[in-house]
């Protein structure tokens, strides 16, 4: 038997150890809870301020890209026609910011300065991701599914895939000869492109597409889907059903009639300065598929395989003038005939759209997918019982 004078300190000692262990475990649990990285949920609000739409870094963002004049605008307006999706006009900010980040990291001097300032890749990527997310969420009306269409964003597919783990990418692909003809004839200014040289522009197209196609394949079929412009035009329903399936968005027939929603309240907002605006005000048609055939210089035709090997890699016949892209659906053939019969009407509509202000779209009180949004005063209940709100 232990004496009472010995037993008492022993009991106190055991109790003290138990209390310390309990406190340590409690504090460690709280500390671990605090240190767990949580994806902050923020909200954007509908025009009438009555509905709140959550947006966060791990949401399934959609990035539409490819070479300019490859059908990126057509894809985005067809997606925009869907009541659950909002893409909006090109921001031009996002690819430039990503390009600047890459310049910094590729420069040994600048990279060292950033690291010395405590701005390593993780910090920089986190800050840029937050900026990009805010731009996408706030530059247009809110929606359940947010989309960005800046053609050259897909030059940075690998960085974006890391920044946004649940994002998906649509790479628009079009016959390079048609792309270059469109760039040259419409005088589309692209850095590094000499609009006086069809050959030089086609070489630039080849280089850009080689890079973006490689990055798309690297991302994998679950993250990046190549979409051929010609097939989208010839078979819009078939292609868009595949696209929406890839994006996990339910089918809606309205996307085949995007022209009915152009600059309508709650519909599709178009930029007055984007080059494709005058084309996408029309229903899907065959007009642009073959315009380029007689525009390719003889010397380019002769050296086409050397100048643009990506043509053949992407499945195009470099020696075909005109190429056989396939037979159009009757729906598209009818659209094409209707446009030709009423050419003056569609020209006037394109002109009217370019004269309109954005207030026609953003001034409306129509909500996109309002039944899927949450009330403005709703605060997201997180799994740990805390609430998270955003501006």
Beta-strand relationship, 145-149 and 85-86: parallel
> Of the listed 90, 159, 203, 230, which one is catalytic?
90
- Distance from chain centroid for Cα 168: 8
Nearest Cα residue to 185 out of 275, 302, 272: 275
| Sign of CA pseudo-dihedral 79, 229, 194, 156 | positive
Distances, alpha carbon 65 to alpha carbons 6, 159, 213, in Å: 79, 14, 11
Q: How far apart are CA 31 and CA 286, in angstroms?
A: 62
Query: ∠ at Cα 134 (133, 139), nearest 5°?
Result: 110
Gyration radius of the chain's alpha carbons: 27
Alpha helices in the chain (DSSP H): 4-35, 72-80, 93-106, 108-116, 121-138, 157-163, 176-185, 198-219, 229-234, 236-247, 277-280, 298-302, 304-307, 310-313, 330-341, 343-355, 359-362
Question: Tokens representing 154?
Answer: 């897909």
Query: ∠ at Cα 213 (253, 126), nearest 5°?
Result: 85
Number of other CB atoms surrounding residue 188 within 10 Å: 16
Q: How far apart are CA 135 and CA 93, in angstroms?
A: 9
Nearby residues of 96 by Cβ (< 8 Å), 6 or more positions away:
none
The question of whether 134 is a catalytic residue gets the answer no
Question: Tokens representing 71?
Answer: 């059908």
DSSP class of residue 251? -
- Distance from chain centroid for Cα 318: 30
Decide: 81 and 257 in contact? Cβ < 8 Å: yes
* Catalytic annotation, residues: 90
């Amino acid at each position: 038997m232990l004496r009472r004078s010995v037993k008492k300190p022993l009991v106190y000692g055991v109790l003290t150890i138990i209390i310390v262990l309990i406190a340590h475990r409690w504090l460690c649990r709280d500390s671990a809870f605090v240190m767990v990285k949580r994806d902050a949920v923020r909200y954007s609000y509908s025009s009438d301020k009555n509905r709140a739409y959550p947006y966060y870094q791990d949401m399934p963002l959609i990035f539409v890209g490819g070479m300019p004049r490859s059908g990126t605008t057509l894809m985005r307006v067809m997606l925009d026609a869907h009541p659950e999706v909002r893409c909006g006009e090109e921001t031009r900010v996002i690819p430039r910011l990503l390009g600047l980040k890459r310049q910094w990291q590729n420069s040994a001097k600048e990279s060292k300065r950033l690291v010395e300032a405590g701005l390593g890749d993780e910090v920089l990527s986190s800050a840029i991701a937050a900026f990009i997310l805010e731009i996408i969420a706030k530059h247009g009306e809110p929606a359940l599914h947010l989309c960005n269409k800046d053609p050259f964003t897909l030059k940075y597919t690998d960085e974006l895939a890391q920044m946004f783990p649940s994002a998906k990418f649509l790479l628009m692909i079009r016959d390079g000869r048609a792309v270059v003809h469109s760039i040259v004839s419409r005088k589309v200014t692209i850095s590094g492109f000499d609009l006086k040289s069809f050959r030089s522009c086609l070489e630039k197209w080849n280089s850009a597409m080689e890079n973006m196609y490689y990055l798309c394949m690297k991302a994998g079929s679950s993250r990046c889907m190549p979409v051929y412009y010609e097939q989208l035009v010839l078979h819009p329903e078939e292609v868009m059903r595949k696209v929406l399936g890839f994006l996990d968005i339910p089918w809606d027939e309205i996307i085949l009639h995007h022209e009915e929603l152009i600059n309508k309240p709650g519909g599709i907002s178009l930029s007055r300065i984007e080059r494709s605006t005058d084309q996408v005000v029309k229903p899907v048609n065959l007009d642009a598929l073959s315009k380029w055939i007689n525009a390719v210089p003889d010397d380019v035709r002769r050296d086409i395989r050397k100048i643009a090997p990506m043509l053949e890699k992407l499945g195009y016949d470099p020696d075909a003038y005109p190429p056989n892209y396939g037979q159009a659906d009757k729906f598209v053939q009818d659209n094409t005939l209707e446009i030709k019969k009423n050419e003056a009407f569609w020209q006037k509509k394109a002109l009217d759209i370019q004269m309109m202000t954005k207030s026609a779209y953003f001034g409306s009180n129509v909500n996109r997918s309002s039944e899927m949004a949450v009330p403005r005063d709703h605060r997201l209940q997180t799994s740990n019982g805390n609430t998270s709100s955003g501006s």
